[in-house]
Structure 1
């Protein structure tokens, strides 16, 4: 565990950016509060590792099953035209994937998704709850 890692400390920085949806096999599924891309989630590994290839084969397999399960839930819940995946970590070196649904007439279609869109679309607690319920229904 890293004291600077928001996924490990589960501090206020994390709760300002995302809402925990639930535990998966080896990771935690979060709803990203910025919802320019409706249904955008993050699948964060429960153990602190900097790189995906540092994981054992069994852990890699289980984690990618979690990523696939989360993406499938997003597809069933919101019917995006495509799902983009982002695995960065320059400033937050903890294995995590962004699951970003893209829509043909939506923001940045045909381009890479924006990590922090300028519109910064925040929702009401009720709207976040509706999205989370749809995702849980389809997990």
Structure 2
């Protein structure tokens, strides 16, 4: 079993998220669980574990990708706050969770839990609509 993000068709990744597209230094994915409407993850294209391992240009490009992707989520779905998180203990490939929070909504004012015991799943058409909106907003 290889890297969750490096393997072209990783079974575990494809079970929980859809690839949206490649950015300058990262690859954007949309989670199937949409309890936080617009929840995505941005993974570095190159296999590195930590931000401090990135070359200066790669770091700048990845930061720009993260700002653009999270800004697109906020603009498209109007969240109250964006939570950005990078863990990687169990999945050691640099990636940031983009978690939109909505006042009065799921987990607002509390900690984000990576695994939701009651995922909110959408229809294929709804996922495709969200992916198309992100691609259009980001020019992917």
The TM-score, its normalising length taken from structure 2, stands at: 0.94
Q: CA RMSD in A?
A: 1.0
Partner of 2:92: 93
Structure 1 residues 63-110: Cα deviation after superposition (integer angstroms, max 9, x where no partner) = 000000100110110000000001000000000000000000111110
Q: Give aligned pairs, total.
A: 137
Q: CA deviation at 1:4?
A: 2.5
Are 1:52 and 1:60, in contact at CA under 8 Å, matched by a contact in 2? Answer: yes
TM superposition outliers: structure 1 runs of 4+ over 2 Å: none
Q: Which runs of 5+ in 1 are unaligned?
A: none
Structure 1 residues 13-61: Cα deviation after superposition (integer angstroms, max 9, x where no partner) = 1111110001100111000111110000010001000111111111111
Q: Distance in 2 between matches of 1:64 and 1:22?
A: 16
Are 1:21 and 1:28, in contact at CA under 8 Å, matched by a contact in 2? Answer: yes
Partner of 1:36: 35
1:1-139 superposed matches below 5 A: 4-10=2-8, 11-139=10-138
For 1:7, what is the secondary structure of its paired residue?
coil
Q: Which runs of 5+ in 2 are unaligned?
A: none
Of 77-86 and 128-137, more deviation after overlay is shown by 128-137
Q: Distance in 1 between matches of 2:136 and 2:6?
A: 27
Q: Distance in 1 between matches of 2:107 and 2:12?
A: 26
Q: CA deviation at 1:114?
A: 1.6
The TM-score, its normalising length taken from structure 1, stands at: 0.94
Of 105-114 and 94-103, more deviation after overlay is shown by 105-114
Are 1:76 and 1:138, in contact at CA under 8 Å, matched by a contact in 2? Answer: no
Are 1:42 and 1:98, in contact at CA under 8 Å, matched by a contact in 2? Answer: yes
